[in-house]
Amino acid sequence: MKITSGLAALVVTLGGVSAGWAGDMPHLRAAMLSVGTVNWELSTIKDNGFDQKNGFVLDVQDYADNAATKIAFEGGAADVMVSDWIWVARMRADGHDYVFIPYSKAVGGLVVKDDSGIESLPDLDGKKIGIAGGPLDKSWLILRAYARKQYDFDLAGRTEQVFGAPPLIFKAGLDGETAGAINFWHFLAKMKAKGMHDLVTVTQASEALGLDPETPLLGYVLKGDFVAAHPEVAQGLAKASRAAKDRLATDDGVWETLRPSMGAKTDADFIALRDGYREGIPSAKPVDEAAANRFLSLMAELGGEKLVGKAKTLPDGVFLSLE
């Protein structure tokens, strides 16, 4: 319920949360992609009042691309953004006091058409692979390392890579212009709903490489000085995020309210997106920093300074300590 007045919006007491004035609560300005899947969680936070129940007001600012969200965050126009912790580690190694709150462990894989006859990575020898995210895409790097370890197969050297935006890789894979595709998880979910399947997932590859697939990759990024000034807001964000995840993990009705914003043209697309999101919900346990360090070391080996900068090992303080 929202009541507008010349003073402030009254926060109704629900579930034992103390009543208060929303106008007196600190606001958290979030720079987010206008079409990002994180909006499903943010909408759930706002629709259920999980922000105000945890002591802050979430203000979502929509941007067209990741570069714009970073400019807003780094320039002070926003307090929080979403990125991967590899970038946070890189920035900390460069002297920026950024911290990370886990959001998702959803990762993709390499998909092929159901009737392709391709059964393993060496079957892609001489063929095209479509890759969203560029040559330093982390899924691509992990799959290269896996191909080398599992098959002694140079995935980069023995295939032709076609790099492009996720929608283009989506179309090229479905049209058969590429023999395989590596894309963001939500595009892969829809590709699998339309006649493609995993040849190998990043989870499978990670396990074979001795990595922990439970390590969350994406998360909310805050500045250390903001956390120091507003520790209750940082903790509140983590709690609101977890409350939304718990609701999204168990309540199918919530997904029906989100469906118009999900870009799901069919029931199969909708179910694939819903189930894919649920699979990506990370544990509430603290991040295993030793496992994260192993992951970062592999990224440094494969991606070099272009990917990790000076962060060859995990800097202290990347993962925000939560209550």
pLDDT in tens, 147-161: 999 999 999 999 999
What is the model's pTM? 0.88
Query: Check: CATH 3.20.20.150 for 10-105+215-282?
Result: no
pLDDT at 170: 97
b/e 294-311 (16+ beta carbons within 10 angstroms → b):
bbbbbbbebbeeebbbeb
What are the start and end residues of each CATH 3.40.190.10 domain in the chain? 10-105+215-282, 109-208
The average pLDDT across 39-59 equals 97
Average pLDDT over residues 249-256: 97
Out of 14-28, 43-57, 228-242, 278-292, least confident range: 14-28
| Region 205-215 average pLDDT | 94
pLDDT at 113 over 70: yes
Give 109-208's CATH code, choosing from 2.30.30.240, 3.30.470.20, 3.40.190.10, 1.10.1060.10.
Answer: 3.40.190.10
Dihedral pair phi/psi, residue 186, rounded to 5°: -75, -30
Mark out the alpha helices in the chain (DSSP H runs): 38-47, 50-53, 66-75, 85-93, 138-151, 166-175, 185-192, 202-208, 224-229, 231-250, 252-258, 267-279, 289-308
Q: Strand pairing partners for 182?
A: 110, 131
pLDDT at 2 over 80: no
- Count other Cβ atoms within 10 Å, centred on residue 79: 26
Among the listed residues 47, 93, 79, 63, the one whose alpha carbon sits nearest the alpha carbon of residue 244: 47
